[in-house]
Chain A
Amino acid sequence: MSNPYAKLPAWAEYGLIPLVNLVVAFLVAGLVVLLVGENPLNAAYHMINGAFGRGEYIGFTLYYATTFIFTGLSVAVAFHAGLFNIGSEGQAYIGGIGVALACLWLDKTMPWFVVFPLAIVGSAAFGALWAFLPGWLQAKRGSHVVITTIMFNFIASSLMVYLLTRVLKPLGSMAPQTRTFEAGGQLPKLDWLLSVFGLEVGNAPFNVSFLLALLAAFGVWVLIWRTKLGYEMRTMGFSPSAARYAGMKEARITVIVMMISGGLAGLMALNPIMGEQFRMQLDFVQGAGFVGIAVALMGRSHPAGIIPAAILFGMLYQGGAEIAFEMPSISRDMIVIIQGLVILFAGALENMFRPAIGRGFATFGRRFPVAAERGA
C-alpha cells in the first residue's frame, strides 16, 4: 500500500506522534469532565495520585497493567500480520477455563510453582483454541476475522455463563463461580520487587504473572523481529500479494498468528483468576480484551511501546477508581471514554496531525539538514 505521507525521523514516528494523539485524547476527555461540571485539573491530580501516590496504589496500577500487557500483545501480534483480532476479550474469557481446570485439579495437593506452569499451558491452549476457528475460517473460507471474532466474543460469553452456572459451580452454591482455590491455586505477590524501591504492596494483588507478562513481551519481540515466522508475518501484513509471490503459505501463517494471538489473550486470565480472586467468576475479563486494542494502537504494536501503554491504562484504571471516590459525578465509566478517545486519536485518526508535523520537519529539516538525513 502506498504511504501518502512523508517519512519522519524515528523519534517523531514512535514518540512524538503517539504523544500528540494521546494529549489530544486527554484534552477531549477533559472537555467531558468540564461538561459534567468538574475541574479537569483536579481530576488529573486525583488520577495521578490514585495511581502512584502509595506503594499499594502502584501495586494496583501494575496489576492492571499486567492484564493489559497480555491483551495488548495479543492484538499487536495479529496487527503485524494484517489481522484485526477483536476477539481477545472472548479468547481471554475462554482461557480462564484452562486456568480454572489446572487449579481445581491440583490446588490442594501441589504448590503454586507446579500449578502455575500447567495453568499457563492451559490458559494459552484454551485461548488459542478459541482463536483457531476464526483464524481457520479466515484462511480457508475467507470469512472476515473481524466479524467472526466479534461473533465468537458473544458465543464465548454465552458459553461461560452456561459453564459457570451449570458445570463449574460447586453443588449447593448460588453464585456463578468456581470454588475458591487453596494455596496451590494462589500466585505469590511481588512484594519483594516493590520493596526494592522502598514501597509497601499492601492489599494490591500485584503478582508473579507480571514477570510472565514481561517475558511474553520479550518473546513477542523475538518472534516478530528475530524469527522466520515473524518475518513472514510482517511481510504478509505489509503486502499479502508480496507474501504470496514469495511463496509464503498465507493460510498457515494466518492460523498460527491467530492462535498465538489467542494464546497471549488466554494468558491474561492467570492474573485475575490466580492472582486476585482465586476463583473464576462471571465476566472476570471486564473488557480487558478491548483495552488491548487501545494499548496495541498506542504502543504502535511494539512490545517496547505496549508495556508503557499498558502501564498508562493501568494508571487510568487504578486512578479512575480514585477519581470516582473523590468526585462522585465521575464514575469509572470515564475510563471507557478515555479508552475510546485513545483508540480514535491514536488509531483511526493517527494521520490527522501527521501532515502538520511533517511540514514542521520539512521547514526545520532545511535548517538542520543533518537531523533530517539521519531520520530518512
Chain B
Amino acid sequence: MKARLLIVDDSMVIRNLIARQMLDERLPPIDLVGLAGDGEQALAIATARKPDFITMDLTMPNMDGEACIERLAKVLPSARIMVVSALSDKTTALRAISKGAHGFLHKPFTEEQLVAALLELMS
C-alpha cells in the first residue's frame, strides 16, 4: 500500500520542492493526497483524506502549524507529522514537538536532507 502524504506550507515554492522529491527512488511509493497553504486547509484535507504522513510548516496564515498539529492530534492521531521550519523558530518547533510532532526538518534543506527526514518519518 502506498504511503499517503499531505504537504502543508504557505509557500508554493516549498510545496513544489517537497512534492517534486516524492518520486525519489530511495523513498517508498508515495501517494500525494493534497497540498495545503494554511492550517485550516490542512485540517480539512487531513480529515477528508486521512494521510499517513504530513509535512507541516509552522508560520502560516489563518491557522498556524502549531495549532494545526494540536487539532490533528485529536482528529487524526494516527498521522505522523514532520515539522518543516526555519531554525529561527526554535521555540515554536519545540512546542510543536511537545504537542506531538514526530519529526523535524529545518529550512533551508537539501534534497538529501529532505529524503533522509522523510525516510526517518516513515520508518
A binds B: no
**Chain B contact residues, CB within 8 Å of chain A:** none
**Chain A contact residues, CB within 8 Å of chain B:** none
